[in-house]
Amino acid sequence: IRVKINNHYREIVDRDGFVTAEKVKNAFLGLEYCHETLLKVYEQFNSDFDKLVQAGMRAKSTQQKYLTVYDHLKRFLEMRYHVSDIALKEIAPAFINDFELYLRTENHC
């Protein structure tokens, strides 16, 4: 049981970047649900937008801007939060303010 709990703990740390007792308990009991993450949703958006570009309904230059924002967001998550992705439910107004500050100061956007 201890090994299973430790494995769930490590998986949650790798996935979310932080752990709560409730998350570990739910994972151990099999009650954990699959939640969407910011970068996965953004990747899907970019994939769908690419289809629109290919169909001639959107501009390639706009697509490039979305891809640039994705790269900035990915670097921001790694630099500021030391995670590779973040759950959508974990995003708070402070996250958005921090990202805006990052874009303005680190990337001069």
Per-residue pLDDT tens digits for 54-79: 999 999 999 999 999 999 999 999 99
Lowest mean pLDDT among 47-51, 80-84, 85-89: 85-89
CB neighbour list of residue 53: distance below 8 Å, 6 or more residues apart? 59, 60, 62, 63
Percentage helix, strand, coil for the chain under 3-state DSSP, each rounded to 5: 70, 0, 25
**In this predicted model, what pLDDT tens digit does every residue of 21-57 receive, in sequence order?**
988 888 888 776 666 889 999 999 999 999 999 999 9
CB neighbour list of residue 4: distance below 8 Å, 6 or more residues apart? 28
Look up the pTM and report it. 0.70
Amino acid at the residue 91? I
Residue 89: pLDDT band (50, 70, 90) is confident
d(CA 100, CA 6): 36
